[in-house]
């Protein structure tokens, strides 16, 4: 049986994508993606937020940085890939998502009224965006990096 390394995450960009240029001249884009899950602890519902480090390499990297911004709701598909580095003599492992496609579900809403105080969209607006997405009306576009090399020794996406 063939093993598969494929993940799909639905969440919000935690910060604007950051562009870095490698020695080879190619661009790499890094961004954090926040997903959340709910569970019931016996008396109330608790929301748990998870943060995922995402990486885009290849020709589409700079386009991603220009197109997406903090707060955008997206669906990311890619593969999980560990990266190792040394810090203070200790080997550190970081797990990253190498993005192959990214679909914009909703642009970050411009804050108005009380939303400015909270720094984002109201819960009612988020619920409406989720409802539109589930009905198929919220999907706006898919950006693919399929066929591009990942420049880090991995196979093409």
pLDDT tens string 12-22: 999 999 999 88
Distances (CA, A) of 145 to 46, 79, 98: 36, 13, 10
- Quickly state the pLDDT bin for 58 (edges 50, 70, 90): confident
Domains of the chain: 5-104 (2.40.50.140)
pLDDT tens-digit map of 73-129: 999 999 999 999 999 999 999 999 999 999 999 988 665 554 444 344 445 544 554
């Amino acid at each position: 049986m063939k093993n598969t390394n494929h993940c799909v995450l639905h969440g919000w960009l935690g910060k604007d994508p950051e562009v870095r240029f490698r020695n080879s001249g190619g661009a790499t884009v890094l961004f954090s993606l926040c997903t959340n899950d709910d569970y019931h602890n016996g008396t109330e519902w608790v929301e748990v937020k998870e943060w995922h480090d995402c990486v885009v390499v290849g020709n589409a990297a700079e386009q991603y940085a220009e197109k997406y911004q903090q707060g955008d709701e997206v669906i990311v598909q890619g593969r999980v890939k560990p990266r190792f580095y040394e810090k203070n003599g200790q080997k550190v492992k970081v797990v990253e998502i190498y993005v192959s496609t990214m679909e914009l579900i909703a642009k970050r809403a411009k804050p108005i009224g009380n939303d400015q105080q909270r720094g984002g969209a109201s819960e009612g607006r988020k619920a409406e965006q989720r409802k539109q997405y589930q009905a198929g009306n919220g999907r706006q576009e898919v950006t693919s990096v399929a066929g591009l090399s990942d420049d880090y020794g991995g196979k093409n996406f």
